[in-house]
A = this chain, B = another copy of it.
Amino acid sequence: MVAFEITILGANGGPSEYATQCFILKPARTEDSELIAVDGGGGMHQLRELLAQGQNDNEGYDELVLSFYEHDREPIEFFIDPRLTIQKGLSKSLLQSLKRHGAHFESANTTNKAFKLFQGITDYYITHPHFDHINGLVINSPSIYEQENTKKKTIWGLPHTIDALQKHVFNDLIWPDLTAERSEKLKLRSLNSKEIQKCTIFPWDVIPFKVHHGVGVKTGAPVYSTFYIFRDRKSKDCIIVCGDVEQDRGGCEENLLEEFWLYVAENIPLVHLKGILVECSCPLSSKPEQLYGHLSPIYLINELSNLNTLYNSSRGLSGLNVIVTHVKATAAKRDPRLTILEELRFLAQERNLGDLRISIALEGHTLFL
């Protein structure tokens, strides 16, 4: 039973500035006019592109996706597990919701439709305040003041995220402090790590977990990011959506990932875990000092092995969808996403993790999990 629809507005881990991490989430098949997003890298431009393309009824096969390596485009099946349900563009139910809730939607032009759709994203859950995770959201933000828009936006995050956004982004220097407008159309709100919060628009629980993401170049201070669990309160189905992350740092520092996997294994029956969207920025050949607070395949597989051990199922993690985001472009011959996917599949098999379904998160596509 499909529980979640996730439209990938961006999943690129830099250094290209286009379509960086942003996922739009909704319950499957509902026709609500409101949506949530995890991270705000991509944004209104991608929505405009998707609306201009129109809807594509096929499920993604015989389609080419942008690569810019061996060929500028490559077949979609190179990037995804064949059992993943994926569609180019926006889902039917999302388009249907726009028609139901938007007066004159059918006759509107593409830009007006994109405004409408963007305004419907009322809640952003940000994993960390790095530029590539907030880029679209910040530049798109003035559109909340467009005439006819009655909706407001709340940006949620752990304190390290919300404090940095207030102090360094919405500060009248890097961007106008729209949070200070009397209309209160844009709000910043802090969450607490490990605390269950009710999603304001869907019957979901949202549970943020603080994780490590390297240290400052100059400061040497730890940098943090966030994993989010979204749980449908009725069906108990869950997905995990991750920000940038590195393995636990050891020594006297907190074992944040260890705690996280323990929480997952104790609170989410494996059959209810519909998927994990998680970064794997760098290929296997990267030395530890080249990871800069990210994962390479060996580290991601280590984490999945830890989860597998905790679940202790005879079938391993069989059937679990692992969607890999945030792969960094490098000056390589082959698309690093394809290299990383191959390495992850090889290591998963070697470590007996069961029949995992590993795919690359492809921008401009909707996943049904």
Residues of chain A touching chain B, judged by Cβ–Cβ distance below 8 Å, are 14-18, 20, 42-45, 48, 52, 68-70, 72, 109-112, 114-115, 129-132, 135-136, 138-143, 146-148, 164, 167-169, 171-178, 180-181, 216-219, 221, 223, 292, 328-333
The 8 Å CB contact of A175, one of B130, B167, B328, is B130
8 Å CB contact of A146 from B110, B177, B330: B330
Majority SS of interface residues in chain A? loop
In contact, A331 and B147 (Cβ under 8 angstroms):
yes
Q: With the chains together, A68 CA to B53 CA distance in Å?
A: 11
B110 near A72 with CB under 8 A, answer yes
Q: For the complex, what is the distance from the CA of A219 to the CA of B172, rounded to whole Å?
A: 7
Q: A52 CA to B67 CA in the complex, in Å?
A: 10
Identity of the chain B residue whose Cβ is nearest the Cβ of A20 in the assembled complex: B139
Check B16–A140 contact: CB distance below 8 A.
yes
Contact check: which of B135, B141, B216 meets A139 at CB < 8 Å? B135
Partner of A180 from B70, B141, B218 at Cβ < 8 Å:
B218
Residues in B whose Cβ lies below 8 Å from that of A72: 52, 110
Interchain CA distance A213-B134 in the complex, whole Å:
23
Chain B: minimal CB distance from A165 (Å): 9
Are A139 and B129 in contact, with the CB atoms below 8 A? no
Cβ-closest chain B residue relative to A40: B17
Contacts of A68 in B (CB 8 A): 48, 52, 109-111, 114
A175 proximity list for chain B (CB < 8 A): 130-131
B176 engages A143 (CB within 8 Å): no
Q: How far is the CB of A287 from chain B (nearest CB, A)?
A: 12
Q: Determine whether the beta carbon of A69 is less than 8 Å from that of B173.
A: no
Let me know if B168 and A169 touch, CB within 8 A: yes
Measured CB to CB, the nearest residue on chain B to A182 is B217
CB proximity of A71 to chain B, nearest CB, Å: 8
Complex contact B176–A216 (CB within 8 A): yes
- Which B residues lie within 8 Å of A110 (CB)? 68-69, 72
B contact residues around A18 at 8 Å (CB) = 18, 45
Contact check, B131 vs A174: say whether CB atoms are below 8 A apart: yes
Determine the chain B residues whose CB is within 8 A of the CB of A109 once the complex forms.
Answer: 68-70, 333
Q: B178 to A15, Cβ gap below 8 A?
A: no
Q: Which residue of the partner chain B has the closest CB to A140?
A: B15
Residues of B contacting A176 with CB < 8 Å? 216-217, 292
